[in-house]
């Protein structure tokens, strides 16, 4: 593995991330849109998991699974933008369930049919999109905010694809990846237990 890539990945692991992206303030445009999926650990893990799962499946899934997520997330973002609500408990639960189920999906590696993965990824994309869309009204420039969260999500999917692609090459790295999926799922269960 490239030395620069190892340093980059190490920096990401030690970079402090808040638990929920929805508490991030100062929604002014593209930067804040791109920060929304990146700075919330729940969003971050789910986005990377989508990329990892698509790499584990391989073939066309490498682009169809993340594309499904981004397209449905964008539709969900529009839906969330049109919602006038202060409380979005069901959206948080949907996002946390995405962390849990995508983590388990990584841990069982290729044992779930691709069409079922795509259906779940679409549902999860909808929840993530609604969460992003709910934040748009606070933005000074909603269009830039939307473009930002689409770019941030796509980047994290590509990052996950890269992790998955390099991790499935050896038995040991594949085992570590599957263990990481279990850790993602356990973290999601912890988040679920913290919801009031």
Range of weakest confidence among 116-120, 133-137, 157-161: 133-137
| pLDDT tens digit sequence for 43-87 | 999 999 999 999 999 999 999 999 999 999 999 988 888 876 655
Distances (CA, A) of 64 to 57, 118, 131, 147: 11, 8, 22, 20
Identify the domain containing residue 35 by its residue range. 27-194
Whether the pLDDT of residue 12 is over 50: the answer is: no
Whether residue 32 contacts residue 86, with contact meaning beta carbons closer than 8 Å, is answered with: no
Rounded distance, CA 194 to CA 32, Å? 26
Write down the pLDDT at residue 177. 93
Give the residue with greater pLDDT, 35 vs 116.
116
**Burial of 86 per CB tally in 10 Å (0-12, 13-18, 19+):** exposed
Backbone angles phi, psi at 56, to 5 degrees: -65, -40
Rounded to two decimals, what is the model's pTM? 0.80
Work out the pLDDT band at 105, boundaries 50, 70, 90: very high
Mean pLDDT of the 95-109 span: 93
Domain count, the chain: 1
**22 domain-assigned:** no
Please check whether residue 4 lies inside any domain of the structure.
Answer: no
């Amino acid at each position: 593995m490239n030395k620069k890539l190892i340093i980059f990945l190490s920096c990401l692991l030690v970079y402090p991330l808040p638990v929920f992206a929805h508490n991030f303030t100062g929604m002014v445009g593209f930067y804040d849109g791109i920060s929304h999926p990146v700075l919330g650990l729940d969003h971050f893990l789910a986005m990377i998991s989508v990329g990892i799962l698509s790499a584990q499946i391989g073939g066309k899934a490498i682009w169809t699974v993340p594309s499904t997520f981004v397209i449905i997330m964008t539709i969900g973002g529009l839906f969330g933008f049109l919602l006038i609500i202060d409380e979005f408990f069901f959206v948080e639960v949907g996002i946390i369930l995405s962390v849990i189920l995508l983590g388990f999906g990584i841990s069982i590696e290729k044992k779930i049919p691709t069409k079922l993965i795509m259906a779940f990824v679409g549902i999860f994309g909808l929840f993530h999109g609604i969460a992003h869309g709910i934040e748009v009204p606070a933005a000074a420039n909603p269009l830039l905010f939307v473009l930002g969260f689409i770019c941030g999500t796509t980047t994290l999917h590509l990052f996950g694809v890269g992790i998955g692609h390099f991790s499935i090459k050896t038995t040991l790295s594949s085992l570590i990846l599957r263990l990481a999926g279990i850790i993602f799922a356990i973290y999601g269960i912890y988040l679920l237990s913290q919801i009031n």
